[in-house]
Structure 1
Amino acid sequence: MLATNQIVYPDSDGQPMADNTKQFQWITVIKTNLDWLFRDDERVFVAGDLLWYPVEGNPKYRVAPDVMVVFGRPKGDRGSYKQWLEDDLAPQVVFEILSPGNTEGEMERKLQIYARCGVEEYYIYDPDRSILKGYQHSDDFFLDSPGETILERIESINDWTSPRLGISFRLIGDDLQITHPDGRVFETFDNVATERDLLLTDKQQLEADKQQLEADKQQLESEKSKRDAKLRELGIDPDTL
């Protein structure tokens, strides 16, 4: 049993990961592509819809970014991200994918939490309206509290490259295109499935070609054997030809 004074930090807030398929697809596309981008760096932790507790002793002060990236923390499973157990490192980059259920008040609250906790880059995408917003960490000497930070709106988000991630954002008509540092577009399940099908088709064609070459080789050997046998019947040694 828990001690009466032990604070509980739930691993779930009871809210769904996504409100619709479009929101879920974007969350998974961003999360899986970032997993792939940092697959070889054991000190980059990427998570989707994971509860983040910034302050020890205050379980009500929490937020669950759709995707978050933490540089300096090891990969691995977690029920939640308790910042004081993670070298007090806040996620440097967070993403939110909007759904019709998100309210302005909710998003303003998240913006204030992310700014207060030291998030360096914050990206919000509304797939229904194809609107992308970005915010970047900034020290503001006008603030009353020294050392306090804010997140400033990125004015030119189109063709913007994330300083931390190296990925780029481009709005093309009603579509958002995100590219890896090497220029490859973020893969979707459909893209991967199509490429897999093409690879399987190529593999099947190569196997068919190989079988045909083997059949042609056997046919040539059979015809050579018949020719050699005929030459011997005529008293001619085929090896001398």
Structure 2
Amino acid sequence: MVSQLQSSSKLIYPESDGKPMADNTEQFRWIVIIQQNLDWLFANDPNVFVAGDLLWYPVEGNNALCTAPDVLVVFGRPKGKRGSYQQWQEGNIPPQVVFEILSPSNKLTEMNKKQVFYNRYGVEEYYLYDPEHSDLSGWLRVDGALDVIDPIENWVSPRLGIRFDLSGPELQIYRPDGQRFLSYVEIAQQAEQERQRAEQERQRAEQERQRAERLAERLRELGVDPDQITG
């Protein structure tokens, strides 16, 4: 696609392409799972930026040249709010890792264009997941170009350190520490279980304290100083 470049310093780079983030609940679920878990994985690194459905403009002066990966990860750029990712304002660092989640409305031509875009503008790792068929494809930059990852089963991302497991009915992604990527519901359920366990432990400790106080009081009634008793 040929686009006319504009040199105006007032050129506007839109923050939306007018397209929905997702076409269905399954596509949206996977976008959120991957984006949120990666954000969590790199939460303590101030120089890893993770975003979902953010327009990426690789070339200054061309506001027609852009795409919005479902999830992108940029190493070497600070966290923070952005209306779009304008590469020339980001140390000219392109997203190193991008994810796309397929939906029934995605056309082969559209996805081919995205792959060409990612190859041309410096993406190091590109992952494409089809949740309907539990099919994952991946490409890794080798000798200056994206090359297909084969096999991808149990592949570990060089940049992210995460592992892809396709042995079950749907994709499972594992953190470097072996923990599985979780949905928000699963994370909330785990947090609630931990809260309940902590409350049970608190109640048990309180019951033990009260029992000890009752015993000490009984000993005092018998004329025995509980503080003088050694175990």
**TM-score normalised according to structure 2 size:** 0.89
Residue 122 (1) aligns with residue 117 (2): no
Shift of 1:207: 1.8
- Cα RMSD for the two superposed structures: 1.9
Q: Distance in 2 between matches of 1:72 and 1:207?
A: 43
Q: Secondary structure at the match of 2:222?
A: helix
Report which of the two structures shows the higher radius of gyration computed on alpha carbons: 1
- Aligned partner of 1:61 among 65, 72, 82: 65
Residue 210 (1) aligns with residue 214 (2): no
Q: Secondary structure at the match of 1:135?
A: strand
Q: Distance in 1 between matches of 2:38 and 2:192?
A: 24
- Aligned partner of 2:53 among 32, 49, 52: 49
Q: Distance in 2 between matches of 1:40 and 1:206?
A: 30
- Aligned partner of 1:21 among 25, 37, 62: 25
**TM-score normalised according to structure 1 size:** 0.86
Residue 109 (1) aligns with residue 113 (2): yes
Q: Secondary structure at the match of 1:161?
A: coil
Partner of 2:163: 168
Q: Distance in 1 between matches of 2:87 and 2:167?
A: 37
- Aligned partner of 2:214 among 210, 219, 222: 219
1:1-241 matched pairs, under 5 angstroms: 5=8, 6-139=10-143, 149-228=144-223
Shift of 1:218: 2.7
Shift of 1:71: 1.3
Shift of 1:227: 2.2
| Range that drifts further, 213-222 or 5-14 | 213-222
| Range that drifts further, 59-68 or 16-25 | 16-25
Q: Distance in 1 between matches of 2:19 and 2:155?
A: 31
Q: Distance in 2 between matches of 1:194 and 1:185?
A: 14
Shift of 1:61: 0.8
Partner of 1:231: none
Shift of 1:221: 2.6
Identity among equivalent positions (%) equals: 50
Shift of 1:226: 2.9
Q: Secondary structure at the match of 2:81?
A: coil
Identify unmatched segments of 5+ residues in structure 2.
1-6
